Amino acid sequence: MSLRDFVIQSQLVPPRSRQGILSRPRISSRLKVCLDYPLTIVQAGTGYGKSTELAALAEQVPQLYWYSVREADRDPFLFLVNLVSAFGIHGKPWGKTILDTLEEEPQSIHVDLLRPLLNDLSIGLPCETVLVLDDFHHVTEVAEIENLVTFLVDNCPQRLHVVLSTRRIPNYNALPRWRVKGLLHLLHRAELAFTREEILALFQDHFLTKLSDDQVSLLHKETEGWAIALQMVWQSLQNNSTSLEQVLAQRPYTLEALFEYLANEVLDRLQPEAQNFLVTVSVLNQIEPEICDLLMGTTNSEKMILSLQESGLFLSSVGERVFQFQNLFHDFLYSRLWANPENARNLHQRCAAYYLVMGRKEAAVYHLLEANLYLEAAVQIIESGPELIRIGRLDSLLGWITRFPAENMQESAGLLLLSGEIRRLKSDFEEALVLYTQAEKKYIQLDDHLGRSKALRGQAQIFLDTIRPLRAEALLEEALRLLEPQEYHLETAALLDQLAENKLNLGHPDQAQALHHEAQLLRVESDPGDVYLEARALMRTGHLNEARDLLSTRALEEKSTIQSRPQRFHRETLLLLSLICILQGDWQTAMQFAKDGIATGQRLNSSFVEAVGLIRLGHAYEVQSLGTRQTGLSEQAILCYEQAIEKVRMFKVTRVQVEPLWGLSRVYGLQGKLLESQTYARQAMDLASQAGDKWLYHLVNITNGITHFYNGQTKEAMTFFMDAYNGFVQVADSFGVAACLLWKAVVYWEEGDADRSIDQMRLLLPLIKAGKYTYLLTRPTYLSVKDEQQLVPLILETYRVGIEKQFLEQIIRQMNLDEVDFHPGYRLYVQTLGVFEVWRGGQRIRSAEWQRDKARQLLQLLLINRHEWLQRDQIVDRLWPDLTPDAAVRDFKVALNALHRALEPGRPRGVNPFFIIRRDNLYAINPQASLWLDVEEMESLVRKDDVNSLKGAIALYKGEFLSDSLYNEWTENRREQVKFLYLSACERLAELYLEEKKFDAANQVCEQLLAVEPTWEAAYRMMMEAYAGKNNRSQVIHVYHRCQEIMKMELGVEPSEVTSQVFEILGGNENTN
């Protein structure tokens, strides 16, 4: 019989590429590295696609030879014959000498037999060549084959590269030497595993099954990228017409084919001792030698583990002497374990006992539950529960508790109490209340006063979380009555703090302070108490700076010790800080705290916290809108409030809607929509009244007064301010009192009653000094005037009559109003982009008020040179170039007087103008005047260089700079600067959108840019990038052709080389991805 008859030709041919196999460029590039090494070892367990990926290598390398090793090839003679025959597959005579020699003179196998083959290959190989020895694990332990392979690698022809595909790395003596010399390249299981992106592509492009991001993450976690498992999951989806989540949750039934494969291909091929070990230790989630020894009754578990790991049996090291099975392989073994339920439960019980001795309670609980030992599990869960709640392990606790049968659950007061606490912290208030009530009844049956007190506290805490103090009061008092303070001092202290918070919510700060002090006396030194309660009490009684300092310190501590914890609802440090900053008018800091608070809510998976963050963000947008004419800020505030209401609606607690309704009443009122404002205000006040929160009720009350004042209803406004004033006196909030006094002074001043206005200032200023509320006078806040310039005439008059002169001097200096005798009581808002418009405070200057067009142009000229003095001659040369000097000066004086009357129609006779000042023959905008200019706002926003700021900058561009003065030469330079600023802002915003993969938004901005400057080539390049990102090659081509046409028509040139190169990369080649 000829030696060639021993050769099965199919072993020497790579397997065919199957339909539905995903091409993975990442793996192809990693495998192609084999051309840089004499030897590459690809190591992974069964089903990782080693053979498939290596077969695909045939298309990547110039020449490939293949040998699929089988169990029978452990015979060195047969191995050598197949190895040599592999090189003859393409009709070359290489290796023929060896085969002839072996056929004529049968002899023992030795390495010298390979010399003729290696010589033939050294001379004859025309190109880089790869030899794949697939399934090499069948022969790794055969010494003669080790010698042959070692000789082959050590003497490998320069153009030959050997690839061993195996389930375990050969333990060859030469391996360390090859590593050190850089002759070996290793590719492990982790690199062959499918990534999230590859899983998405596999299901979407090949299986034609769409997956969400969450489903991709779930599949990646459960399969760990195991190719065969992914295939089996897809087949199960096809066969069962069920969801991916159900397929994974209902295994082993849904993955029966995979488990059968593992039984046949893996487990049944092992020695009985190894099979028993694997099935037994599958009782563990983490495999450690010590507990394995306990379960197996041996002392060699670590050796067995390492041996199995080396064999590629889906066993990974996850720490020092700690191992873990691949998820699905573990499921398979665990299903085998439960074929004998009695043995499985016994093993779980032994594991639980071991872990309890070792102090590892979580592991013990898992095994107790698996063994159906519910009573023992309940004891451990109740004991561990408070600490796990403190660090935010709610889902772990909930996962354990939901495994208890209903009858066991109802018999355990401790579990009912714990479940109530978890549901409350997850904002499921209705279910929490039911569970607390059930726990209370059980504790009554047990005559357990402490337990019942905790159940009552839990019920009360729900009403504290949702700020419904009337419902909480009786529960807290009953809970306190059940405890002996000296026996349960910490529990009593906590109850007293809850009562204190509730008294604060009811508007009794003095009682709250007394209760909090009593709680502190009961606490031991190591218990810091409730900083939030102290800060909130300070805020609600007008000590805003102290509250802010206290919370800022706590926020720094929290930031430096980031850890998992439960949500605190409206008590989050950052969110309370945000509200304080809102009241102080510090909208930038308030906005940052609100955004950080929203992020905290998302991190804690708390819609409640996120909603409170959105409310505070809405407040910040409102205050920001007061000092600017940026469009959209009020709309952003409304959106925040509406989103917050939608988020809290699921909790079925209307009280938490008070604050966003308050915000909506304010924003609509300041927009002049008094009817809508009053609707929201009434809803907010009704809810606050039902809850018993007097402080919040009067915040809405003072806002009612503000909205009526700005809608011209000063009498109604005064009624609200008086009511709010009395309310804030009752709840001892000095800041609220100060805000009401300020508004009363403003109303009297607007009505022309200066004496009564000054009387209010006489009461107000000592409060401002004591509480450090200077910002009520110097900047817009949530409870003060929209424009602080409105207060300047009142401040100057108060100073003139001698009230708190030293204090007012500081404020006047802070407002840059030294030596000012007259102030009109408003700032100017100027729109130069598009139609030229000017507002005196909130009142637009009508066309007729300008009297002369030259008055408007004079203001425009001064604005362009805002920070300079202009000589009269310069002004007349630019505005009246065609008149004689005398006529020009005459017309200048007329225009200047018209401008003064337009800007300051209420200025008394004989008083110097405020906004336009004169020094001999020099004229300028008064640097002491408060003036908002859209182009300066635009420049400021562009400098911030973030998406929101750039959007705001672009929104300000309503047309060309001073578009009604296009033919005045003195406007041209500034117009070009502003246009370039706008185009640059658009380009930068589009770049940021591209970085965020917001392709439609990027295209929209580019279209805005091109509408102003059609030859701005960067816009076309970014549009091509955006369409390429959307895989829309036809639009890439269209954009380039559009660019060609515009450049030819406008400038007579072709697109730049850079633009053409971008087109070639993104759209010029049909094969370009």
User: Mind listing the pLDDT tens digit for each residue in 788-822?
Assistant: 999 999 999 999 999 999 999 999 999 988 888 89
The confidence score (pLDDT) of residue 1072 equals: 40
Band (pLDDT 50/70/90 cuts) for residue 1071 is very low
Judged by DSSP in three states, 187 sits in strand
Residues 215 and 353 in one domain: yes
Count structural domains, the chain: 5
- Concatenated DSSP letters of 532-547: HHHHHHHHHTT-HHHH
Instruction: Give the residue carrying structure tokens 């004591």.
Output: 770
Is 548 among the domain residues? Answer: no
Global pTM?
A: 0.63
Report the distance separating Cα 379 and Cα 355, nearest Å. Answer: 15
Helix (H) or strand (E) holding 325: strand 322-325
Is 552 among the domain residues? Answer: no
> Over the Cα atoms of the chain, what is R_g?
40
Report the distance separating Cα 367 and Cα 600, nearest Å. Answer: 34
Q: Count other C-beta atoms under 10 Å from residue 9's C-beta.
A: 9
Residues 153 and 261 in one domain: no
Residues 121 and 225 in one domain: no
For residue 468, the domain's CATH number is: 1.25.40.10
Give me 492's structure tokens.
Answer: 């009593």
The pLDDT of 192-207, averaged and rounded, is 85
Report the distance separating Cα 26 and Cα 400, nearest Å. Answer: 41
Residues 309 and 456 in one domain: no
Q: Which residues pair with 43 in a beta bridge?
A: 166
Q: Which residues pair with 130 in a beta bridge?
A: 64, 161
> Is the pLDDT reported for residue 1070 higher than 60?
no
Instruction: Give the residue carrying structure tokens 């013990």.
Output: 364
Candidate ranges 10-19, 491-500, 649-658, 993-1002; pick with highest mean pLDDT: 993-1002
Final residue belonging to a domain, choices 905, 929, 953: 929
The confidence score (pLDDT) of residue 345 equals: 95
Q: How does pLDDT run across 904-963, given as a tens digit for each residue?
A: 999 998 899 999 999 999 999 999 999 999 999 999 999 999 998 999 999 999 999 999
Final residue belonging to a domain, choices 358, 376, 392: 358
Give me 522's structure tokens.
Answer: 């009961």
The confidence score (pLDDT) of residue 1 equals: 47
Residues 171 and 248 in one domain: no
The confidence score (pLDDT) of residue 680 equals: 96
Residues 188 and 203 in one domain: no
DSSP category for residue 137: G
Report the distance separating Cα 399 and Cα 726, nearest Å. Answer: 52
Lowest mean pLDDT among 311-320, 333-342, 814-823: 311-320
Judged by DSSP in three states, 1070 sits in coil
Beta-carbon-side half-sphere exposure of residue 33 (alpha carbons within 13 Å): 15
For residue 66, the domain's CATH number is: 3.40.50.300
Report the distance separating Cα 350 and Cα 352, nearest Å. Answer: 5
Is 739 among the domain residues? Answer: no
Range of the domain at 161: 3-192
The confidence score (pLDDT) of residue 213 equals: 87
Helix (H) or strand (E) holding 931: strand 931-933
Is 234 among the domain residues? Answer: yes
Report the distance separating Cα 738 and Cα 760, nearest Å. Answer: 10
Is 971 among the domain residues? Answer: no
For residue 234, the domain's CATH number is: 1.10.10
Residues 284 and 324 in one domain: yes
The confidence score (pLDDT) of residue 245 equals: 77
Instruction: Give the residue carrying structure tokens 């018209």.
Output: 898
Q: How does pLDDT run across 397-436, given as a tens digit for each residue?
A: 998 999 999 999 999 999 999 999 999 888 888 999 999 9
Residues 206 and 182 in one domain: no
Q: What are phi and psi of 820, to 5 degrees?
A: -90, 125
Q: What are phi and psi of 1014, to 5 degrees?
A: -65, -15
Residues 68 and 82 in one domain: yes
Whether 522 contacts 544, CB under 8 Å: no
Final residue belonging to a domain, choices 153, 175, 192: 192
Is 853 among the domain residues? Answer: yes
Residues 431 and 490 in one domain: yes
Sequence-distant (≥ 6) Cβ neighbours of residue 238 within 8 angstroms: none
| Sign of the alpha-carbon torsion through 865, 868, 874, 880 | positive
Residues 164 and 221 in one domain: no
Is 921 among the domain residues? Answer: yes
For residue 878, the domain's CATH number is: 1.10.10.10
In the predicted model, what is the mean pLDDT of the chain?
Answer: 88
Task: Compare 100 and 178 and report the one with higher pLDDT.
Answer: 178
Report the distance separating Cα 446 and Cα 410, nearest Å. Answer: 13
Q: Which residues pair with 844 in a beta bridge?
A: 839
Give me 955's structure tokens.
Answer: 């929104």
Residues 1034 and 912 in one domain: no
Is 890 among the domain residues? Answer: yes
Q: Which residues pair with 133 in a beta bridge?
A: 67, 164
Q: How does pLDDT run across 678-735, given as a tens digit for each residue?
A: 999 999 999 889 878 899 999 999 999 999 999 999 999 999 999 999 999 999 999 9
Q: How does pLDDT run across 1039-1057, given as a tens digit for each residue?
A: 999 999 999 999 999 999 9
